[in-house]
Structure 1
Amino acid sequence: MNAPIQHTIPAEIGTPFAGGFYAGKFNCDGAVYALIASPKATGETEMPWGEYGQDIPGARSCFNGSANTQAMAEAGSALAKWARALNINGHTDWYLPSRDELEMLYRAFKPTSEENCCSFRDGDNASSIPAGYPYTTVEPAQTAASAFQDGGAEAFADVWYWSSTQYSPHDAWGQDFDDGYQGHCHRHGELRARAVRRVRIDG
């Protein structure tokens, strides 16, 4: 899963690639990866994050969603087990995006032209390549990928989505795809989740 590949990385966000859709490049534990969003029909669900009040030390990474998801699954999270059980286009290494990976999905695939929330750290992302910047009311703009625009076949709903990053034993990080607000939500609440995978690349 993590060996360098020789594929040419797509020039445009939203291009079909590696079993899903190309969402950009990011750093994880000193390596560079391409982030792949799953097809909506087979890679999106809605359910609670996990047990309320359960501390999962292995699910605290802001950039390694794969490790977070594995820790969640081992702790009994039905959401994480759902992601780990996916087999989409021949790939079985899907997982729940970390906080920074989820931010990349919003920046790449913002479904609407609504103004962005601009609170303290919304959009600040040290893991993405190039590094993410705090949002303005107009940046990021609605995605240029037509399939991901509001009403499109792959579009994210303008609602909250889970990341795999634990905030506390009671909450986990999420992002609102209506305005980009990043915050923490009670883990027993039902939010959307979109599976991703990653492929290691050179440079």
Structure 2
Amino acid sequence: MTQSVLQSIAAADLPERGQTLAGGVFVTRYWLNGQERALILLPDELSGKWGEYGVEIKGASSYSDGESNTRAMAEAGSEIAIKALELGAFIPSCLEGQLLMAAKDDDLLTLREDRFHWLSSQFSANFAYYMDFGGGWVHGRYGKSSERLVRPVRSLPIQ
């Protein structure tokens, strides 16, 4: 698995939102599990199934922690999750997807509006959440075995 050169970043070294950072575009600062983090959108675009319809993946239901969701997906054999982790990245959670949408709305990012994007947050054994960057909404009722896009992200602890 390829790792990001940066493992963390000092708050004083953060660029403006929408500027280059760690191989992608700095989206925003956010808090996750008691740690302030920098969310970075990578330029890569992946496509694939979230997982198998009817199979619940334990550990992939976090609304906020896309990295832990993606690791659980990969352990269960999800090809898009494995590809994201190989990039030193992960599939955004519902929260992280909404942060991407907010940055897009502020004209800091360009995201495809013609296709739905998977999020790593599982809704149930049958469904996973996805994001419509054209309409700006998150929905949880789409079969996991459908092909959707993924825009991987990276998250760095802020020191």
Judge same fold: TM > 0.5, yes or no.
yes
Counterpart CA distance in 2 for 1:16 and 1:5 is 13
Matches within 5 A, 1:5-44: 5-6=9-10, 8-11=13-16, 13-39=17-43, 43-44=44-45
Report whether the alignment pairs 1:106 with 2:106: no
3-state SS, counterpart of residue 62 of structure 2: coil
- TM-score scaled by length of structure 1: 0.70
Matches of 1:8 and 1:68, distance apart in 2: 28
How far apart are the structure 2 equivalents of 1:4 and 1:46? 28
Q: Distance in 2 between matches of 1:194 and 1:45?
A: 6
Q: Deviations over 1:96-144 (max 9, x none)?
A: 11110011111102xxxxxxxxxxxxxxxxxxxxxxxxxxxxxxxx443
Q: Does 1:195 align with 2:152?
A: yes
Shift of 1:47: 1.2
- Counterpart for residue 107 of structure 2: 144
Count of residues in correspondence between the two structures: 152
Q: Secondary structure at the match of 2:59?
A: helix
Q: Which residue does the alignment assign to 1:139?
A: none
Alignment root-mean-square deviation, CA: 1.7
The residue number in structure 2 matching 1:182 is: 138
Alpha-carbon distance between aligned partners in 2 of 1:61 and 1:32, rounded to the nearest angstrom: 18
Q: What residue number does 1:157 align with?
A: 112
Higher strand proportion, which one? 2
Q: Which moved more, 1:22-31 or 1:1-10?
A: 1-10
SS in 1 for 2:13: coil
Q: Which amino acid aligns with 1:50?
A: G
Distance 1:44 1:35 in 2: 17
Specify which of 106, 121, 127 is matched with residue 171 of structure 1.
127
- 1:138 corresponds to: none
CA distance in 2 between counterparts of 1:178 and 1:73 reads: 28
State the 1:4 CA deviation.
4.5
Aligned residue for 2:67?
66
